[in-house]
Amino acid sequence: MECRKHQAQVVILVFYETDPSCVRKQRGSYEVAFANHEQDLTDDDSDQDKLHRWRTAPTQAANISGWDARTLLKLEKYPNEKILNVLKVSYDGLHNPTKEIFLDIAFFFKNKDKHMAVGILDACDFFAASGIDVLVDKALITFSYNNNIQMHDLLQEMGLDIVRKECLKNPGTRSRLRDNEVYDVLKNNRGADTIEGITLDLSQVVDLQLSSNTFKKMLNLRLLRLYVPEESIDLSEGKQLLKLLDLSKASKLKEVDLSGCESFPDVHPSILSLKTLE
């Protein structure tokens, strides 16, 4: 609250499994906690001032318009434009490279290993480690116990919405694509040179044949993540592709055609562990 008052920082509240009025009026567990603190403090003026500030801060915080986490499930299903705009304040304060890292995480690296993500982002000429530190400081991402990148669903939806608004009518001219929009762009060869990244689960689509010509117009494509259920994948002549991602879970994959992929400095070592490759 001091930073909000003196540095004009934005405070976004989420009331998780608690009634905001209990925080504001310090009832229930809050009343008990403050009573315990009061017993531990002395009559010294500095201790009494500290107690006063502790009591004042929750009241001030609860008076700020916040989110009751009991409504989050609804908001995740039907994101409110106003809420997304509030979240976007933190995003707008980032430098451009860090914005790009945030959007890549929202599209491609949520719940993925941090070190894997840093390696790929560094290959895209981002200073990934420092950018990720900034996102952590801004509370835009966190890490799980096993070092996977975590992002709240609402923050991810904000990232998806930012890219969606790059061009509402023509997904093929956006910077990043995923899910159903990818299928339409790839099937009808509508991809433009603005596309930088694509993720697609091929097990969820039918009647989609991929070849090097599919990506011919995507001159700035730097990240392609395909979940491949089939026995072969053809990426030949993918001259702009920078990195082949982890294929260790492609247990049925028998053939990968990378001929003409001139920008690969090397391939992911997982490809050597696939016993199904012929």
- This prediction has a pTM of 0.62
- What is the reported pLDDT for 209? 76
Percentage with pLDDT > 90 across the chain:
27
Q: How confident is the model at residue 52 (pLDDT cuts 50, 70, 90)?
A: confident
- Cα–Cα distance measured from residue 23 to residue 3, given in angstroms and rounded to the nearest whole number: 20
Check residue 86 and give its pLDDT: 74
Topology agreement, domain 2-69 and domain 79-156: no
Percent residues over pLDDT 70 in the chain = 63
- As a whole number of Å, the end-to-end CA separation of the chain is 62
Average pLDDT of the chain, as a whole number: 78
Mapping DSSP to helix (H, G, I), strand (E, B) and coil, where does residue 222 land? coil
**Token pair for 211:** 């070849």
Give the model's pLDDT for residue 35.
Answer: 74
Residues 170-208 have pLDDT tens digits of: 999 999 998 888 888 988 888 899 999 999 887 777 777
Domain ranges for the chain: 2-69, 79-156, 170-273
CA distances from residue 179 to 25, 204, 226 in whole angstroms, order as listed: 46, 9, 11
Per the listing, tokens 């890490």 go with 143
The pLDDT value given to residue 69? 47
Q: Which of 3-7, 63-67, 162-166, 210-214 has the lowest mean pLDDT?
A: 63-67
At the top level of CATH, the class of 2-69 is alpha beta
| CATH (one of 1.20.58, 1.10.10, 1.20.120, 2.60.40) for 79-156 | 1.10.10
Is 3 a residue whose pLDDT tops 90?
no
